[in-house]
Amino acid sequence: MKSTDERSYDALAESLSGTGVDVASVEERLRAQRVETPSWGYGDTGTRFAVFPQRGVPRDPFEKMADAAQVHGLTGICPSVAIHIPWDRVDDYGGLKGHAESLGLRIGAVNPNLFQEAEYKLGSVCHPDPGVRRRATDHLLECVEVAKETGSDVISLWFADGTNYAGQDSFTERRHRMVESLSEVYGAMPEDMRMLLEYKPYEPAFYHTDIADWGAALTVCQRLGERAEVLVDLGHHAKEVNIEYVVALLLDEGRLGGFHFNNRKYGDDDLIVGSINPFELFLIYVELVEAEERSDTRIDYMIDQTHNIEPKIEAMLLSVMNLQEAYAKALLVDRTALAEAQRSGDVLGAHRLLLDAYATDVRPLCAKVREDLGGASDPIATFKESGYAEKMAQERGEGAGAGWS
């Protein structure tokens, strides 16, 4: 007798017969999906007010890799781990690379830190003091070398640079300073390395931020060269911004380099992916799937979250599962019917095609794909049953927090 999941999968396949959607093709693309998890998502983190420690969190980058391997093993689609310098600084990056590879992982994007040191109070690469700018640029160059040593081909940049008061500094001069610094870093990158430039409208700069939106990031990337691309963090927008439209524009310009997936209710909340607005996540994937079918553009899909009160690995698993389901639903959109409805001006017909795909229960499909990849149909339940969390709590004790804790 078939299980409930098997019967649900058969029902889904039958319901799609006669449409423009091929289930076998959907499965193939789901198996090829890749999501990068962040090293900082496995350690203790918190807010500006407090850090809430959990027993068993990693004490160093090597233990972070071990936890990331749990996520990859249970989902089958998370073979790379982003690192953060200096939080993940080690004496032997080749050793870190080898350790990751021994766990079936690789080092993903290298993320410099230019927001924590006291001398960056007025900015880093935009600072009015050339000595501070030199130190900031040297750190970026250090991270290029770290990327070379770890086998990474991505430098992922976010800047807290900005001002808090009118008249504090020149908008134009600050922009010139940033382009000068990033041009030096871009020139030092190997030909196969990409620079992803992230933006954020506010915090900790509250009058203006030097890279406040996708337009500011895009124009800097255009100044630098073709291997500089925009990174979209889902929490880094004003509440009214249509993120899927921004995604479509950047795709059309060939400058969408990657994502930091998370979710927010108010600002940059860094909540579990899909926990607040799963329909928006689905709509973003609708644009991404369309772009995948037009070209072979590389886009790096990365999670950027700080799990402050929830169990670290379980939270990461849920984020990955939500990404799998959002992608699956976007793949189920009948593109032929959608194009016909759009051309004929059938407003509600087009909209309902999206709603139909979004309302589809794709959990059995995603469970099957995970099992095909050697993972678990229910990663969270399987992880809880494994006893890994209890074992790590016993071995690691209180662990260690992220850099600011």
- Helix H, strand E, coil C: the string for 172-201 is HHHHHHHHHHHHHHHHHCCCCCEEEEECCC
Q: Tell me what the mean pLDDT of segment 244-260 comes to.
A: 97
On the question of pLDDT at 4 being above 90, the answer is no
Phi and psi at residue 189, to the nearest 5°: -75, 140
For strand 194-198 and strand 256-261, is the pairing parallel, antiparallel, or unpaired? unpaired
pLDDT in the model for residue 18:
65
Looking at this protein, which amino acid is placed at residue 279?
A: F
What average pLDDT does range 331-360 have in this prediction? 97
The two tokens of residue 51 are 């850090």
Number of continuous H segments (helices) and E segments (strands) in the chain = 15, 10
Of 405 and 276, the structure prediction assigns the larger pLDDT to: 276
Give the C-alpha distances (Å, rounded to integers) separating 157 from 85, 111, 220: 11, 6, 12
Backbone angles phi, psi at 43, to 5 degrees: -100, 175
In whole angstroms, give the CA distance from residue 341 to residue 319.
33
Which residues, at least 6 apart from 399, have a Cβ–Cβ distance to it below 8 Å? 43, 44, 53, 54, 55, 56, 57, 58, 59
Residue with tokens 């032997």: 92
Q: So where are the chain's domains?
A: 34-324
- Residue 340's pLDDT is 98
Q: What are phi and psi of 104, to 5 degrees?
A: 80, 20
Mean pLDDT is lowest, of 41-50, 298-307, 332-341, for: 41-50
Give the SS3 label for residue 33.
coil
Does 59 have pLDDT greater than 70?
Answer: yes
Residue type, 30: L
* pLDDT, greater one: 108 or 48: 108
Give every strand in the sheet of 300-303, ordered side by side: 37-38, 80-85, 106-112, 154-157, 194-198, 228-233, 256-261, 300-303
Q: How many residues does the chain have?
A: 405
According to DSSP H, which parts of 33-104 are helical?
Answer: 61-75, 93-102
Q: Is the pLDDT of residue 2 over 70?
A: no
Task: Identify the pLDDT of residue 302.
Answer: 98
Minimal CA–CA distance to 251: which of 290, 280, 221, 201?
Answer: 290
The pLDDT of 350-372, averaged and rounded, is 97
Asked if 205 and 160 count as a contact pair (C-beta separation under 8 A), the reply is: yes
Homologous superfamily of 34-324: Divalent-metal-dependent TIM barrel enzymes (3.20.20.150)
pLDDT reading at 377 higher than 70: yes
- Classify residue 39 by its DSSP letter: G
* Closest CA relative to residue 262, chosen from 243, 287, 249: 243
Q: pLDDT confidence of 405, banded at 50, 70, 90?
A: very low
Sign of the Cα pseudo-torsion (334, 335, 336, 340, in order): positive
Contact 308, 43 (CB under 8 A): no
* DSSP calls for 116-176: SSGGGTT-STT-SSHHHHHHHHHHHHHHHHHHHHHT--EEEE----EESSTTSS-HHHHHH
Average pLDDT, the chain: 94
pLDDT, greater one: 202 or 15: 202
Give the phi and the psi of residue 142 in degrees, each rounded to 5.
-60, -40
Place of tokens 């993972």: 375
User: In degrees rounded to 5, what are phi and psi of residue 401?
Assistant: -85, 175
